Each structure stands twice: as structure tokens, then as C-alpha cells.
Amino acid sequence: MIKNRSFWWYILLTTITFGIYGIIFMYDYTEDLNKICEGTGKPSKNYLIVILLSIITCGIYYYVWLYKQANRMNKQGFSYSINIPETGSTILLWNILGSLLCGVGPWVGKYIMIKNLNLLAEEYNRKFAN
């Protein structure tokens, strides 16, 4: 069973733990997304590898990873009959151009990603956890 995630707890606990909770959260997020999208293509890399590749590429790999994950959720939404209108392009726009809005854009992008995973998790739990 995949648990529902809260964006507000994510912000609070990531701030309190100086980012450590954010890494743990995204690690679990990636594992859950791989479970939801199992059998529909190549699974996402371990989030710790994403962090390392992002450091090596000066952050570019993180945006590529976000784009792929958002597109995976969009595609998986169709197979679960869930409307997920946000694609990888939407998430990239919020993360890159939205950062010009006093740094709010990446938080909006993260909110959208968590919201979409929660939608998929509810349907996944309804179909497979029982």
C-alpha cells in the first residue's frame, strides 16, 4: 500500500531538518512512483544517484529527471483513467521560469508532483492493495 503524502509536511520537515527530510522524502517518492509505474517501461534511478548525477552536471540532470517523472505520471494517469494534465514541460516551466517569481516556482512544481503522485497512489491502492 502506498501512503498519501503531504506537501505542507514536506516543506515544514525539510526546513526543520535542513534538507535531510527532503532527500528521504524524494527517495521514498521515487520508490513509490516506480512501484506505481511497474511494468510500463524503465524504472527511475535511485534518488541518491539522481543527486550525484545532478552534482556532476551542475543541476541539469535534476531537471531532466523531473521532466521524465512528470511525463511518467501523466502517461500512467491514462492507464488508471485519471486526468493528470501536467506534463514534464509544465514542471520544467515552474522550476526554471517560475524561479524568477521570487523563488516560488520550484515549490509550485513540487506541489504538482506530490499532488499527482497522490492521485496515482489512491488509484493504485484501490486496484492492487486490496
Please tell me whether residue 49 adopts helix, strand or coil conformation: helix
Across 71-98, average pLDDT: 92
Please count the residues of the chain. 130
Supply the mean pLDDT for the chain. Answer: 91
Q: Residue 41 pLDDT > 90, yes or no?
A: no
Across 11-23, average pLDDT: 93
Across 89-101, average pLDDT: 91
Alpha carbons 126 and 111: distance in angstroms, whole number = 23
Q: pLDDT per residue over 83-93, tens digit each?
A: 999 999 999 99
- pTM greater than 0.85: yes
Q: Is 95 exposed, middle or buried (0-12, 13-18, 19+ CB in 10 A)?
A: buried
Q: Report domain extents, the chain.
A: 7-129
Those residues whose C-beta lies under 8 Å from the C-beta of residue 78, and which sit 6 or more positions away, are none
Cell 512501484 identifies what position?
35
